[in-house]
Amino acid sequence: MVKLLKKLVFKLYVICLMLFTVWYGHFMYPLIFGFEGKEEAGESLKEIIRTGSEEETMFSRLIAEQTETSQTDLGYRVIDESYIEGRFHHIGFTLQHDNTNVCIRCHGSVPHDGSKETRSFLNQHAFYLACETCHSRPRAGAETWTFNWYDKVTGKITGNPRALVEIEEMFTHEHETEQYPTYGNYGVKIAPTQNDSGIRKLLHGEKEMALAERYIAEQELLEPDQKTAMKEVLHRKVSKDHPQCRECHNQEDRYLPFEKLGYPPTRLRELVNVPVVNMIQKYQKFHFPTLLESDEIEK
């Protein structure tokens, strides 16, 4: 019996060595003959980009582009950040995309492109507010919503972000630390939630995402009128009556309960006194003062 077992172990050992020999040959192949295959793949993609119309070229380029990061080594500190082509200023952080929100699945994470005055500000809000926070409203008589933070990666409801409090502490010790408070990149977003059989769930949760995924997967097989009907169903929670700036950015009776969401006093003061809101609402065009500008600056 021991002899048989020894023989078996020996055979297994030999088989492992044979497999290793084959793997080693495979592993060494690109090291000897280079990585031509990858270069060819890159070339064929460039060929597609070269040959289309302007729109096709632009579309292919956008598909080919991948989210890149860059690293700047200052010796005493390494800065990891998202690489944005053509940008001069360092952003100093990595953009964290929300892959769990159902609206973003089709509309993307930078969806506002209407009014020139407001589009960038609205996209800024999309950085830390789920779409349904503004684009859905509770129906009359229905249960009032609670607003909670959810994780951009897992889609799960989380507690208030600790970063908000840390920024407040930074304000308190501002002169000691010489750090600048920067808001908005907490890895979480605010979304309306509802009570579902004693469990708090996102208004647009897993069920809605499953419907959207199913629509995306099957849309090629659908008749045009079916598509319209399904879009109608998918958008049934969307309200045209979205909140105006003042509904949140005011001293009292705010649509979003900033205190409950964990905003500390300094940030709260900023949120309720937003000069940009005044500017957008009062002026069609706002000229910056040139009183203090030197006339001597030459081109």
Question: Under the criterion CB under 8 A, does residue 255 sit at the interface with other proteins?
Answer: no
Give ∠ CA 155-160-166 in degrees, rounded to 5: 125
Out of 2, 5, 25, 139, name the contact with other proteins by CB under 8 A.
25
Q: How many CB atoms are located within 10 Å of the residue 206 CB? A: 12
Q: With beta carbons less than 8 A apart as the criterion, state whether 63 and 55 touch.
A: no
Report if residue 258 touches other proteins, rule: CB under 8 A: no
Rule CB under 8 A: say whether 236 interacts with other proteins. no
Quick one: angle between helices 224-234 and 206-218, nearest 10?
170
Q: Which of 144, 240, 138, 128 is nearest to 191 (CA)?
A: 128
Residues 94-153 binding other proteins (CB under 8 A) are: 95, 108, 110, 112-113, 116-117, 119-121, 123-128
Tell which one of 21, 228, 232, 248 touches other proteins (CB under 8 A): 21
Residues 260-279 that bind other proteins (CB under 8 A): 269-270, 273, 275-276, 278-279
What is the C-alpha to C-alpha distance for residues 75 and 52, in angstroms, rounded to an integer? Answer: 45
Interface mask toward other proteins for 184-223; x: CB under 8 A: xx--------------------------------------
Cβ at position 179, least distance to other proteins in Å:
7
x/- mask, other proteins, residues 47-76, rule CB under 8 A, reads ---x-------xx-xx--------xxxxxx
Which CB atom, from 14 or from 222, has the smaller least distance to other proteins? 14
Q: Which amino acid is at 230?
A: M
Does 288 contact other proteins by CB under 8 A?
yes
Closest CA to 257 of 120, 144, 154, 166: 144
Phi, psi torsion values for 78, nearest 5 degrees: -115, 130
CA 31, 37, 40: angle at the middle one, nearest 5? 135
CB-wise, 220 or 296, nearer to other proteins?
296
> How many chain residues touch other proteins (CB under 8 A)?
89
